[in-house]
Amino acid sequence: MFNPRNFRVQRLASGNFKGDVVIATAGGTLNVGDVVYWSAAGTVNKSTTSANYAAFAGVVVAGPGTSNLFTADDVTNVVGTQAATVGQDVYVQINGIATVQTAAAVAVNAILQVATTAGQVDDPAVVAGQCVGIALAVAAGASVKIPMLIQPK
Amino acid sequence: MSYRATRFPYIALGLDAKEPDVPQLGGITAKFTAAADLKVGDVVFVSAAQTVNKSNTQANYATFAGVVVGGVSLLDGCVVIDDLNCIGAIVPSGTQALVQTSGIARVVADAAITVGTRISQGATTAGRVDDTAFTAGQMCGIALDAATNAGDVISMLIQAK
């Protein structure tokens, strides 16, 4: 049992990243920066099917592949490297701001979804219920790392 | 730099969760650049890279960011969420605004509001909320208090939808 802690306002790290994380089971090989959805009980996975993200979970930030350490601001260039393989525990950031990778060019302040590349974000026509967040920077093409305000809706 | 996630089971908003009269306010904040003069209590949207603004056009709130609760250079970087006298304090254009992106915050009504309704930007004053027709993707939160008049300060559960 726990006593809830008093908690007024918490500020993100100086780099404006981080948030709450949960530990889930990887439903496949997942990389740091992947946006993932709940695919089974306690399990997250990624997909190219945007509809799966109606059960959006968050952004992979760590796993055994990173020694369970996460690098939200990615100064050590960890985003895109393997975090976990199927069946392993993976850390998923569920709110705040996280670094993700783009599947194509993305406009700043665009509403992001998953489209052509599993786990990576794009800004196609908005489909309510499948959006994962808001781009806080522009991306000129695929595999660009950008900060995303996690905001499923 | 690498970080290890801290254990963080449950949290209670408010000064003291054991006192029912204490306002249940608070949440997570992030820094954004203010695109214009913003006020504490304004609802804001992402308008450019790491930048937020306000508008009296509800459609802009498709990229809702949160509620302005302070500024890095305002009040020594303190947030002001339960002091009604601080609602309306200016966060100058070009400075860093502290924007609350989750939890419960104080906002200002743009008109009368029914408690329990979904609210978003009002049509009259930029940064203020109203309970006009629900538009998917543009809502900012749920009114936890009623407002009788424009300018009333109410609590909002931040919940973009």
Residue A2: pLDDT band with limits 50, 70, 90:
low
| Spatial contact of A70 and B2, defined as CB atoms under 8 Å apart | yes
Count Cβ atoms below 10 Å from residue A67 Cβ, excluding itself: 10
For the residues B49-70, what does the mean pLDDT come to?
95
pLDDT for res A13: 65
Give per-residue pLDDT as tens, A111-152.
Answer: 999 989 999 999 999 999 999 999 999 999 999 999 999 999
* Shortest distance, CA B16 to any CA of chain A (angstroms): 6
pLDDT at B18: 55
For chain B, the average pLDDT equals: 87
A8 to B65: CB separation less than 8 angstroms, yes or no: no
Coil, strand or helix: which one is A94?
A: coil
Q: H/E element holding A142?
A: none
**What is each CA distance from A49 to A34, A85, A115, A119, in whole angstroms?**
14, 20, 7, 10
| C-beta of residue B26 within 8 angstroms of C-beta of residue B14 | yes
- Confidence category of residue B114, pLDDT binned at 50, 70, 90: very high
Average pLDDT over residues B93-119: 94
Which candidate, B96, B135, B108, places its Cα nearest to that of B41?
B108
- The length of chain B, given as a count of residues: 161
Arithmetic mean of pLDDT over chain A: 89
pLDDT value at residue A8 = 60
Measured between CA atoms, how close is A107 to chain B, in angstroms?
9
Euclidean distance between CA atoms B19 and A81, whole angstroms:
46
pLDDT at residue A1 tops 60 = no
Q: Which of A146, A152, A111 is nearest to B50 (CA)?
A: A146
Q: Is the pLDDT of residue B83 over 90?
A: no
Q: What distance in Å separates the CA atoms of residue B64 and residue A118, rounded to the nearest whole number?
A: 25
What pLDDT, on the 0 to 100 scale, is given for residue B107? 95
DSSP-assigned states of every residue in chain B: --EEPPP---EEEBS-TT-TTS---BEEEEEEEESS-EETT-EEEEEETTEEE--S-GGGGGGEEEEEEEETTEEEEEE-SS-GGGTT-EE-TTSEEEEE-SSEEEEEBSS-B-TT-EEEE-SSSTT-EE--S--TT---EEESS-B-STT-EEEEEE---
Please report the pLDDT score of residue B81 as a whole number. Answer: 59
Which residue in chain B has the smallest CA separation from A3?
B10
pTM of the model: 0.89
| A153·B98 Cβ contact <8 A | no
Which residues in B lie closer than 8 A to residue A153 (C-beta atoms)? 137, 160-161
pLDDT for residue A6 is more than 90:
no
Inter-chain CB proximity A111 and B161 less than 8 Å: no
For A60-75, how does the pLDDT look when each residue is reduced to its tens digit (9 = 90+)?
999 999 998 887 667 6
Indicate the pairing of strand B96-100 with strand B27-34. antiparallel
Q: Around Cβ B73, how many Cβ atoms within 10 Å? A: 12
Q: Which residue of B11, B22, B60, B135 to mutate against A (max A Cβ within 10 Å)?
A: B11
Q: Which residue among B27, B46, B161 places its CB closest to the CB of A136?
A: B46
